[in-house]
Structure 1
Amino acid sequence: MFTKRNNIFSTIILFLLGSTMLFAQTEQQNSDVMSTIQQKYQEFGQYMQSGDTDGLVANLYTDDATIYPPNGGVVSTSKGISKFVSGMLSSGMVIQLVPKEVEMLGDAIYDYGVANVSNMEGEKLGIQRYMVIWKKVDGEWRIY
């Protein structure tokens, strides 16, 4: 009887330790993923500031990416996305993407956050929610 209780107790302890280690690994992985996405959004901002929309699309979007603007419609293809972003820049809009939740799911990352929209003078125009799916292409995370 005493041995049976010890075995049950040992099993419970091992389960709890394993769960704690798995949780710690997941937390570290999520932290690493968040850092990666924040770095990608810094690159995004640099491309936007320089007005290099072709570079933005070529380096941060997949070839088959699609975006869904807040006022409706669908924009796909590299050329279409570059044209859309150019239009935003020429209208004086500046977008800062701030991820709130980022999680890796298999070979993809989902990213939910807010987009702070302002004009070139820094006047806040609004806030939009966004969701991005990232895919790894040739070892680099890109917006899908």
Structure 2
Amino acid sequence: MRITLTILMLALFTSLNAQDADVELIKSQANQFSTYLMNGERDKVVAMYTKDAKIFPSDRDILEGEELANYWNPPGERSWKTTKHRFMAVEIKIMGDEAYDYGYYEGTSTNGEQTSDWKGKYVVIWRKEDGVWKIYLDIWNRIKND
């Protein structure tokens, strides 16, 4: 009986440690997303999404494929640069090779003459693809600044 209980406790502990590790990996991916965005590395932002990803930006249709890539890396010159971006996760829940993450985001953009501070809320569905957590579904919308 003790052996069975010990094995069950070890299995539970191992499972919880694996989930904690995956939560940290997702947080790291979210931080990397912000870094790429602030560095203007838009192709790397796009690469953080799964091949079949969809995004749900505020006041826009659902975008996927080339439309998703063009959203983050639009053709032509970009006048606004993101100088600050961060996610503040409220909850990250792992379910096998998928996870959900929701919370708030904030950032600052500038075009050299004007600065715009913004904030909002988000929900991300993550999927493990080739051992790496990638964004499958990404929905966000702004909250009005006070």
Using the size of structure 1 for normalisation, the TM-score is 0.69
Q: Deviation digits for residues 45-74 of structure 1, max 9, x if unmatched? A: 12101112122212x112211112243520
**Structure ID, larger Rg:** 1
Greater share of strand: 2
**Identity rate, percent:** 16
Deviates more, 1:115-124 or 1:43-52: 115-124
For 1:127, the aligned partner's letter is G
Match of 1:74 among 62, 83, 86: 62
In the other structure, the counterpart of 2:88 is: 98
Counterpart-to-counterpart distance in 2, 1:37 and 1:81? 21
User: 5+ residue gaps in structure 1?
Assistant: 1-9
Q: Does 1:125 align with 2:131?
A: no
The higher relative CO (CA closer than 8 Å, separation ≥ 6) is in: 2
Compare 109-118 and 33-42 and name the one that shifted more: 109-118
Partners of 1:31 and 1:130 in 2: how far apart? 19
**CA distance change for structure 1 residues 86 and 96 in 2, over 3 Å: closer, same or farther?**
farther
8 Å CA contact 1:112, 1:132 repeated in 2: yes
Q: Where is the helix percentage greater, Structure 1 or Structure 2?
A: 1
Relative to the length of structure 2, the TM-score reads 0.68
Match of 2:134 in 1: 142
**2:79 & 2:15 partners in 1: Cα distance?**
38
Distance of aligned partners of 1:130 and 1:70 in 2 relative to their CA distance in 1, 3 Å threshold:
farther
Correspondence 1:1-144 to 2 at 5 A? 10=1, 13=2, 16-58=5-47, 60-77=48-65, 79-86=66-73, 90=80, 95-106=85-96, 108-120=97-109, 125-137=118-130, 139-144=131-136
User: Which range moved further: 97-106 or 43-52?
Assistant: 97-106
**How many residues of Structure 1 are paired with residues of Structure 2 in the alignment?**
129
